[in-house]
């Protein structure tokens, strides 16, 4: 996302870019300069306009009584007879009309009666059809009107959302009104123009931790993820009606933070203690047909972790008499694939002597650094009654079913337990707080 969320401009370089908001320095300066502009009142005024239009639809618009379908008109017998009489006379010649008027009116009356009956049947059918349409239209009108009234809040909110969406995403980007509405929408400024006071350190600390985690403990300006001291900076300062909303907060290193506040020196923070992640490594698990040296590997799974997070996985069944499945590869095919997947990454294993004995027997000459979480967990968590993988998984509430899990699922548990053990300090061991490791 290289577009500024405030000016919608792709051309300006982004000053602060996070998962929450992107904003250029030009917009930061503009918002600060025009901080008295009532962006929330603009939004409230638009809501009142939407409400007025909603009410108008009920009183004078498409849901008013004026738009209620009208019932069809039914002709009277007199009107139909008069029309039949007009048709007969219209079809008569002049001499015929004069003759019938004085000497032979009965024949005319018979013709009028025949046409009258025909018209009566035709108009009745027409009326019945119009009446059915009227009833359907009336039902639909009432239903639409009732829905319109019962969904008043949803309709108003939807129209307001559409209006705001147009402002935020499409409308004229040069208007300071629209820019400040976007700033309000993203939570950068307080729309009611209340100056927010600074939070107490106890209130600010959980917010600070959230921001640091979301920004991956990296300064959003210099992109340095190795800085020992990180600060949380308000994009729009509180004195210019900035907020404590997460969108208005970014992670900066001390040097970059200092540059954002001309004429003052930023207070130093305590050095950041970064959580250990175990770095980049591959966790491996295997399943075998037994425990003796003559038994065979029947399944191999591995999970690659990058910066402590699962990145990719490897899994394969092995062609043996215990896995009589079609297209199951042999161990000679799987081992080179596993070697390529592992590369030069260090390995995390549980009971490494068992796993390596089987892998080395198939000429997988492993020279990578190895971490066995069995002795590691005994060192870090000495108070457990045993250090089986199932016990360690239960300790940290990790899903584990033992022999029914696939080997890649077991490898995932091994990797996570390794990371948990890495984070246990000597003081935690002394205080028996190893269970509370995040």
- Cβ density class 107-116: b for 16+ within 10 Å, e for less: ebeebbeebb
Q: Which residue range is the domain that position 351 belongs to? A: 281-436
Q: Which of 221, 166, 254, 167 is nearest to 24 (CA)?
A: 221
**pLDDT per residue as tens digits for the range 369-423:** 999 999 998 888 888 888 999 889 888 888 887 767 889 999 999 999 999 888 7
Residue 22 included in any domain: no
d(CA 409, CA 412): 5
The neighbouring-strand residues paired with 302 are 284, 314
- Phi then psi for residue 60, to 5 deg, are -130, -5
Same domain? For 285 and 432 the reply is: yes
Domain endpoint, select from 150, 166, 201: 150
Domain endpoint, select from 104, 135, 150: 150
Residue 56 included in any domain: no
Query: Would you state the pLDDT for residue 350?
Result: 93
Yes or no: say if 38 and 193 are a contact pair by the CB < 8 Å rule. yes
**pLDDT per residue as tens digits for the range 161-198:** 777 777 777 655 567 777 888 888 888 888 666 777 88
Residue 293 included in any domain: yes
Q: Which two tokens stand for residue 60?
A: 């004078």
Q: Which two tokens stand for residue 210?
A: 């959230």
pLDDT at 136 over 60: yes
Helices (H) and strands (E) in the chain, counts: 15, 9
Domain endpoint, select from 150, 172, 188: 150
- Phi then psi for residue 380, to 5 deg, are -80, -30
Yes or no: say if 416 and 398 are a contact pair by the CB < 8 Å rule. yes
**pLDDT per residue as tens digits for the range 313-367:** 999 988 876 655 667 888 888 888 998 999 889 999 999 888 888 888 876 778 8
Q: Average pLDDT, whole number, for the chain?
A: 82
Return the percentage of the chain with pLDDT > 90, whole number. 23
Residue 429 included in any domain: yes
The answer for residues whose C-beta is within 8 angstroms of residue 191's C-beta and 6 or more apart is 38, 39, 40, 41, 43, 184
Residue 240 included in any domain: no
Cα first-last separation, the chain = 32
- What are 99-102's contacts with CB under 8 Å, separation 24+? none
Residue 414 included in any domain: yes
Name the pTM for this structure: 0.44
Residue 269 included in any domain: no
Q: Given its phi and psi angles, is residue 132 left (phi above 0), alpha (psi -120 to 50 degrees) or beta? A: alpha
**pLDDT per residue as tens digits for the range 60-77:** 888 888 888 889 998 898
Per the structure, how many domains does the chain have?
Answer: 2
26 CB-side CA count, 13 A? 16
Q: Give the CATH number for residue 306.
A: 3.30.420.10
Residue 167 included in any domain: no
């Amino acid at each position: 996302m290289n577009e500024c969320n405030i000016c919608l401009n792709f051309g300006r370089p982004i000053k602060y870019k996070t998962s929450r908001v992107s904003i250029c320095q030009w917009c930061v300066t503009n918002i600060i300069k025009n901080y008295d502009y009532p962006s929330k009142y603009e939004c409230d005024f638009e809501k009142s306009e939407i409400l007025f239009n909603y009410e108008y639809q009920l009183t004078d618009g498409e849901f008013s009584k004026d738009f209620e379908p009208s019932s069809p008109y039914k002709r009277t017998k007199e009107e139909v007879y008069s029309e039949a009489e007009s048709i007969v006379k219209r079809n008569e010649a002049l001499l015929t009309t004069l003759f019938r008027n004085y000497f032979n009116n009965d024949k005319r009356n018979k013709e009028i009666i025949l046409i009258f009956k025909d018209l009566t049947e035709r108009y009745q059918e027409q009326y019945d059809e119009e009446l059915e349409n009227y009833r359907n239209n009336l039902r639909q009108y009432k239903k639409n009107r009732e829905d319109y009234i019962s969904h008043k809040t949803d309709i108003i909110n939807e129209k307001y959302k559409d209006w705001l969406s147009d402002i935020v995403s499409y409308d004229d980007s040069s208007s300071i009104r629209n820019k400040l509405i976007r700033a309000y929408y993203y939570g950068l400024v307080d729309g009611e123009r209340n100056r927010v006071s600074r939070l107490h350190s106890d209130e600010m600390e959980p917010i600070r931790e959230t921001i640091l985690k979301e920004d991956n403990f990296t300064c959003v300006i210099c992109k340095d993820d190795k800085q020992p001291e990180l600060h949380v900076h308000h994009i729009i300062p509180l004195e210019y009606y900035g907020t404590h909303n997460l969108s208005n907060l970014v992670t900066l290193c001390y040097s970059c933070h200092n540059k954002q506040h001309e004429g003052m020196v930023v207070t130093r923070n305590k050095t950041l203690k970064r959580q250990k992640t175990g770095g980049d490594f591959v966790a491996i698990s295997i399943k075998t047909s037994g425990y003796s040296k003559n038994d065979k590997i029947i399944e191999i799974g591995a999970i690659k972790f990058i910066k402590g997070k699962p990145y990719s996985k490897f899994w394969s069944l092995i062609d043996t008499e215990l896995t009589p499945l079609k297209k199951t590869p042999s161990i000679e095919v799987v081992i080179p694939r596993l070697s390529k997947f592992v590369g030069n990454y260090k390995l995390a294993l549980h009971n490494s002597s068992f796993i390596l004995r089987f892998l080395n027997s198939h000429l997988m000459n492993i020279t990578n650094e190895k971490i066995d979480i069995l002795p590691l967990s005994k060192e870090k968590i000495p108070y457990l009654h045993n250090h089986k993988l199932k016990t360690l998984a239960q300790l940290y509430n990790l899903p584990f079913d033992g022999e029914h899990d696939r080997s890649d699922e077991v490898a995932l548990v091994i990797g996570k337990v390794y990371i948990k053990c890495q984070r246990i300090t000597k003081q935690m061991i002394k205080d028996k707080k190893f269970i509370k490791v995040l």
